Amino acid sequence: MLNESIALMQRATAVIPGGVNSPVRAFKAVGGNPIFFERGNGAHIYDVDGNEYIDYVGSWGPLILGHAHPKVVKAIQQIVQNGTSFGAPTRLEVEIAELITNLMPSIETIRMVNSGTEATMSAIRLARGYTGKKYLVKFDNCYHGHSDPLLVKAGSGARTLGVAGSAGVVQDLAQYTLIAPYNDLQATAHLFAEYGHDIAAVIVEPIAANNNLIMPTAAFLPGLRKLCDEHNSLLIFDEVITGFRVALGGAQELYGIAADITCLGKIVGGGMPVGAFGGRRDILAMLAPIGPVYQAGTLSGNPVAMTAGMVTLQELIAQPNCYTQLQQYSANLMQQLTQQAKQHGITITTNYISGLFGFNFVDDPDNKFFKRFFHLMLRQGVYLAPSAYEAGFVSLAHNEITLSKTIAAAQQCFALMQKTDAYALA
Ligand SMILES: *Cc1c(COP(=O)(O)O)cnc(C)c1O
């Protein structure tokens, strides 16, 4: 029963564009009525009709400890009594900056902001200010938040000047964003051959987690590092998802590549609105108040958000095996899902790393299988991302029990899909 969610969606659409405060929440990619939630606990979330779900969205990444982790909740409750924001420096900002610069050696100094979007937007301004160059290289299928220069997609040509991917982005600005396919070093090298003298930065998700889940080829990130070095361009790693999710030092630790600027978000805020960007000291020294690149924030570094982030990071540090645990869980989940699908004549491909996973139905035009699977799983009490193009998130609150429940649910769903002619594979 979703009566209350349906009623709320009706009210919401009257006063909120599309009924939601962020587009993917509207279920447009899967159809049906979005679920309104009111409570989370560990790996579980509860909707306004009282239904329970095992959650594989985790608020799109921040909740690596699961929902309402007792230590995070308690720390927020305690700090909030002292006030929520001062618009002036606090001890916590120093402590979290010390912690992050320790965990990620390429980050020598760091500035806190309020979202991943702010982090990438500011990182680009900084890169342009530092290099005095104007072009930006980004990759197809990578999401870097919704600031104008980063909403640009590839045009129809293989190698092309940016074409705005959103109404409202002025074409004159979009033209400075150059696009190459992810993992395509040759196309990137072509862009450098043509525009290299004026490329301020390459921005990349070192693991692409915003188009299902795409791993970098072995040559890709080292190749980008080399191209940037050869052309005096900066390499920006957008680790908003991968930071503290695939390793304490992010994807850059796994692959041994130092970025010039790293963008963080999601986990670094422990469920509160936080982003951050940091990197080489000489680059960050271009920021106001010591340098000419302006950047600011009324609520940046506020104690409530810093506390949630700090406690989350400390908890990860205190559990040295946590990334192995997440990796095992994701591996088991994807392997068993593949097997179950296969037993029902359905083929899926999967990817996973640490607490991130992605699966794709093979031969699934218009994502018909995915949509059906999504809704069947929902009915079985499993909440997956409402789009075939989003990665899945596992938290440290998921365990063997949630795993076997999820697999049992998937088994039922695949069986139903197999029986329904429209979704049966030849
Ligand atoms: C989520 C995300 C962003 C944007 O962060 P917001 O906090 O939603 O603004 C940027 N980059 C990547 C890789 C992300 O996954």
At 413, which CATH number?
Answer: 3.90.1150.10
Give me the mean pLDDT over the 19-41 stretch: 96
The CATH number of residue 245's host domain is: 3.40.640.10
Q: How many CA atoms lie within 13 A of 33 on its CB side?
A: 20
List phi, psi (to 5°) of 223.
-65, -40
- Asked whether residue 181 falls in the same domain as residue 309, the answer is yes
pLDDT of 182 above 90: yes
In a domain, 423, yes or no: no
On whether both 18 and 87 belong to a single domain, the answer is no
Residues 75 and 59 in one domain: no
Boundary-marking domain end, from 318, 352, 367 = 318
Q: Which of these three, 281, 296, 318, is where a domain ends?
A: 318
| Rg from Cα positions in the chain | 22
Residue 165 falls within a domain, yes or no?
yes
First to last CA, the chain: 34
Bigger pLDDT: 20 vs 419: 20
- Let me know whether 60 and 78 are in one domain: no
3-state secondary structure of 323: helix
Query: How far is residue 143's CA from residue 388's CA, in Å, rounded to a whole number?
Result: 15
Distance, CA 63 to ligand 1 centroid (Å)? 14
Q: Is residue 16 part of a domain?
A: yes
How many other β-carbons are positioned within 10 Å of the β-carbon of residue 316?
Answer: 20
- Establish if 241 belongs to a structural domain: yes
> How high is the pLDDT of residue 420?
65
Q: How far is the CA of 252 from the centre of ligand 1 (A)?
A: 17
Q: What is the pLDDT, as a whole number, of residue 123?
A: 98
The predicted pLDDT at position 161 comes to 57
* 424 domain residue, yes or no: no
Residue of 231, 46, 219 whose CA lies nearest to 137: 231
Which atom of ligand 1 is found nearest the CA of 118?
Answer: 9
Indicate if 293 and 181 belong to the same structural domain.
yes
Active site residue 266: yes
- Tell me, yes or no, whether 61 and 138 share the same domain: no
Identify the pLDDT of residue 162: 66
143 is catalytic: yes
Q: Out of 47, 55, 238, 364, pick the active-site residue.
A: 238
**What is the rounded CA–CA span in Å between residue 122 and residue 379?**
42
The answer as to whether 405 is a domain residue is yes
Tokens of 71: 């230590």
pLDDT digits (tens, 9 = 90+) for 297-309: 999 999 999 999 9
Q: Which of 113, 110, 63, 57 is nearest to 315 (CA)?
A: 63
Domain that holds residue 403: 3-68+320-418
pLDDT of 236: 98
Residues 134 and 263 in one domain: yes
User: In this structure, are 296 and 402 located in the same domain?
Assistant: no
Q: Answer whether residue 422 shows pLDDT above 60.
A: no
pLDDT at 421: 53
Final residue of a structural domain among 271, 295, 318 = 318
Question: Does residue 191 lie within any of the structural domains?
Answer: yes
The one-letter code for the residue type at 87 is G
**At 169, which amino acid appears?**
V
Same domain, 372 and 305: no
Kindly tell me if the per-residue pLDDT of 365 is higher than 70: yes
Pocket of ligand 1 (CB under 6 A): 115-117, 120, 143-145, 205, 210, 238, 240-241, 265, 275
- Mean pLDDT computed over every residue of the chain: 94
For residues 5-26, give the mean pLDDT.
97
Helices (H), ranges, 344-383:
368-379
Span from the CA of 254 to the centroid of ligand 1 (angstroms): 20
pTM of the predicted structure, to 2 decimals: 0.96
Which residue would you say has higher pLDDT here, 418 or 101?
101
pLDDT of residue 419: 74
Q: In a mutational test of the pocket of ligand 1, which residue from 59, 264, 266 has the highest number of ligand atoms less than 8 Å from its CB? A: 266
The residue-averaged pLDDT of 94-121 equals: 98
Q: Domain check: are 46 and 24 in the same one?
A: yes
Tokens for 212? 């299902």
Instruction: Tell me the two tokens of residue 19.
Output: 């009924």
Angle, helix 185-195 to helix 220-230, in steps of 10 degrees: 10
Asked whether residue 162 is domain-assigned, the answer is yes
177, 243: one domain: yes
Q: What is the pLDDT of residues 132-177, one digit of tens each?
A: 999 999 999 899 999 988 887 633 333 345 666 788 888 888 899 9
Residue to substitute in 144, 151, 205 for testing ligand 1 pocket (most ligand atoms within 8 angstroms of CB): 144
Whether residue 421 lies in the annotated active site: no
Ligand 1, atom 11: closest residue by C-alpha = 144
